[in-house]
Chain A
């Protein structure tokens, strides 16, 4: 059982809005491991769009990504890249 974690800054202007949350869930769902997101002690399942939305991650939020299980470090890296890429929104 491997574990991995990373912290990423939400930089896109709209934050974790519906489509961004959906993209994140789509990426997370590609991995077999359990992945959780948290901000300020509030946690959410990264494979749940409502959970991600409920984090209310606005621009400037720092998200901790934690994964346990197969491909854990790949999963954290992929999610980190998506957040760093501003969810492909270019701003």
Chain B
């Protein structure tokens, strides 16, 4: 790979950086292959009557071939993985009688060619499904179209699902979107990494990429138009970033980071039991954020002391009806049992805002981040929240469960939720179902008003959890999605730091644990400030834990407290950033190789030596 990379440098090109979502961990450097998954063009050809029988024959051969290809893909996908069942459905659909009869009837009666007949049949079936009252079923119209496209591709002679060039050189796949089947068709020895323009951590591409252990960045807007075939790209699946035509420095640092990550993952088992302890011997609890139950094993393998934030939204997304108590209970129970005796913090749904689930819809409003979301939605529809709370209470019988309430902005809200938690417990007791005697109920501090009232909230809550991403957004009044405002949204801003400090102090005074989660808690430099301000418990992406253990082992609490005091006394985010990076970048140089989460802007006039 190194040779081809250096040959690419002959043509100087502008460095392009794309931010996306860390879909699958790992870091790869390689040449891009832009896959245009366009629908094959439909040939419209009329047939003479005597040609119809041959055309039906041609269509049947295409079905056989398309179904064989999909079966091969299904066989290659990791055995027993949930995604294979999606592929099985596709195989059945390709062979489907209803579809076949529909197409054959058109060929024989309307005398149109197979491609045209198929296109009409797919349109008809898809339109029918789209009208289904059930949004889940109407979603299936995409599957029908996918299957139709597969057969069309065979008819038009484009056999393989994603055409990889036969250079034998592994490549970085860049696409607008990949279907589960397409992702599963990619193999680790031919694909270095995946970049897609759409998708989230829970989309099929990310899930399949994680299962195949291929680094992936999803949701990288503009990737297809800004990356050309053969461009050298760095895909950082740890931080959700893609660098196109990187400079030599960037290549060098990324190669070191990639090697470090590989070394770390191979040493994982050995590092796994190492505690996170400062040089002066203070233990820091590092827990993992998860979104899907399948992430638990990875988190524990990375050495997480339990789950500090289990985002339960995925249960509510992409479905017609909210999940039942029973369904949620089964999911939570499995996670809680796997993690026991370590704790699991279950956060009640944070839907509304940027994660609208069709199952609990309402008018989105102009500014969803300030609208009816998270606990506001839960209090507006108490039965929705109670169903979830009952499932959580029941899961507490199987391990250590804590419940966390998101987006609390007033003490009154927290009291109202607490009442519902007690009601859920009473209902479980009335059914004589088992539960833990004590279930700590914590309050998220992510709205400035909650941070201002941290003492009062700490008196009522069993623990506090600072959500740094939302706290930054709400404190600085910056929409997280706005590119042009990204510089304003710094967790190093003294206003944010003072709110965090205030919350940490409230925890100390009221004798409550305070935890921090969010991007700041997984960045080594952000963590220094959090520890210096008194936090002893952090929750982050599981993959970031080994790196942070190493960073924490190199510092003493005394120096971090001094650093935090100086940062809190600063006037601007830039001052804080400079102070932290100048003080610690040299000693963390090996950990910060590549792109840290908050990279100081080189145009700002201060140079940082990493």
Which positions in A face B, CB cutoff 8 Å? 13-15, 17-19, 21-22, 25-26, 44-45, 47-51, 53-54, 56, 58, 90-91
Given contact pairs A13-B324, A54-B98, A91-B326, A49 touches B92 in the complex (Cβ within 8 A): yes
A-B contacts, 28 listed (Cβ < 8 Å)? A13-B327, A14-B136, A17-B137, A18-B86, A18-B89, A19-B85, A22-B88, A44-B98, A45-B97, A47-B97, A48-B97, A48-B99, A49-B89, A50-B93, A50-B96, A50-B99, A50-B125, A51-B96, A53-B129, A53-B140, A54-B98, A54-B125, A56-B132, A56-B134, A58-B133, A58-B134, A90-B330, A91-B324
Nearest-CB residue, chain B, relative to A89: B327
Nearest-CB residue, chain B, relative to A16: B137
Q: When the two chains form the complex, which single residue of B85, B93, B132, B327 contacts A49, counting CB atoms closer than 8 Å?
A: B93
Query: With an 8 A cutoff between CB atoms, is B413 at the interface?
Result: no
Is A49's CB under 8 angstroms from B137's CB?
A: no
> In whole angstroms, what is the CA distance A15 to B136 when docked?
10
Residues on B with C-beta less than 8 A from A18 are 86, 89, 140, 143
Which positions in B face A, CB cutoff 8 Å? 85-86, 88-89, 92-93, 96-99, 125, 128-129, 132-134, 136-137, 140, 143-144, 321, 324, 326-327, 330
Residues on A with C-beta less than 8 A from B136 are 14, 17
Given contact pairs A45-B97, A50-B99, A91-B327, A25 touches B134 in the complex (Cβ within 8 A): no
Q: When the two chains form the complex, which single residue of A25, A45, A50, A91 contacts B144, counting CB atoms closer than 8 Å?
A: A50
Is A15's CB under 8 angstroms from B134's CB?
A: yes
Nearest-CB residue, chain B, relative to A90: B330
Q: When the two chains form the complex, which single residue of A17, A26, A51, A91 contacts B97, counting CB atoms closer than 8 Å?
A: A51
B332 to chain A, nearest CB (A): 15
Q: When the two chains form the complex, which single residue of A14, A26, A49 contacts B96, counting CB atoms closer than 8 Å?
A: A49
Residues on A with C-beta less than 8 A from B327 are 13, 91
> In whole angstroms, what is the CA distance A1 to B92 when docked?
28
Nearest-CB residue, chain B, relative to A13: B324
Residues on B with C-beta less than 8 A from A19 are 85, 89
Q: A13-B321, A22-B88, A56-B133 provided; 8 other pairs, C-beta below 8 A?
A: A17-B136, A18-B86, A22-B89, A25-B92, A50-B99, A53-B140, A54-B125, A90-B330
Nearest-CB residue, chain A, relative to B326: A91
Residues on B with C-beta less than 8 A from A47 are 97
> In whole angstroms, what is the CA distance A25 to B94 when docked?
13
Residues on A with C-beta less than 8 A from B85 are 19, 22
Given contact pairs A54-B128, A56-B134, A48 touches B96 in the complex (Cβ within 8 A): yes
Residues on B with C-beta less than 8 A from A44 are 98
Residues on A with C-beta less than 8 A from B326 are 91
> In whole angstroms, what is the CA distance A36 to B140 when docked?
21
Given contact pairs A19-B85, A54-B128, A48 touches B321 in the complex (Cβ within 8 A): no
Residues on A with C-beta less than 8 A from B129 are 53-54
Is A51's CB under 8 angstroms from B89's CB?
A: no
Nearest-CB residue, chain B, relative to A52: B98
Residues on A with C-beta less than 8 A from B324 are 13, 91
B138 to chain A, nearest CB (A): 9
9 nearest interchain CB pairs? A48-B98, A51-B98, A48-B97, A49-B92, A50-B98, A56-B132, A22-B89, A50-B96, A18-B89
Residues on A with C-beta less than 8 A from B96 are 48-51
> In whole angstroms, what is the CA distance A49 to B132 when docked?
16
Residues on B with C-beta less than 8 A from A50 are 93, 96, 98-99, 125, 144
> In whole angstroms, what is the CA distance A22 to B88 when docked?
8
A76 to chain B, nearest CB (A): 19
Instruction: Name the residue among B136, B324, B326, B330 with the largest chain A CB count within 10 angstroms.
Output: B136
Residues on B with C-beta less than 8 A from A25 are 92
Is B88's CB under 8 angstroms from A53's CB?
A: no
Nearest-CB residue, chain B, relative to A25: B92
> In whole angstroms, what is the CA distance A47 to B93 when docked?
11
A55 to chain B, nearest CB (A): 10
A10 to chain B, nearest CB (A): 12
Residues on B with C-beta less than 8 A from A48 are 96-99
Nearest-CB residue, chain A, relative to B141: A53
Residues on A with C-beta less than 8 A from B99 are 48, 50
> In whole angstroms, what is the CA distance A19 to B97 when docked?
17
Nearest-CB residue, chain B, relative to A45: B97
Residues on B with C-beta less than 8 A from A58 are 133-134
> In whole angstroms, what is the CA distance A22 to B140 when docked?
13
Residues on B with C-beta less than 8 A from A56 are 132-134, 137
> In whole angstroms, what is the CA distance A37 to B140 when docked?
20
Is A53's CB under 8 angstroms from B92's CB?
A: no
> In whole angstroms, what is the CA distance A22 to B136 when docked?
15
Is B134's CB under 8 angstroms from A45's CB?
A: no
> In whole angstroms, what is the CA distance A16 to B98 when docked?
17
A51 to chain B, nearest CB (A): 4
A67 to chain B, nearest CB (A): 15
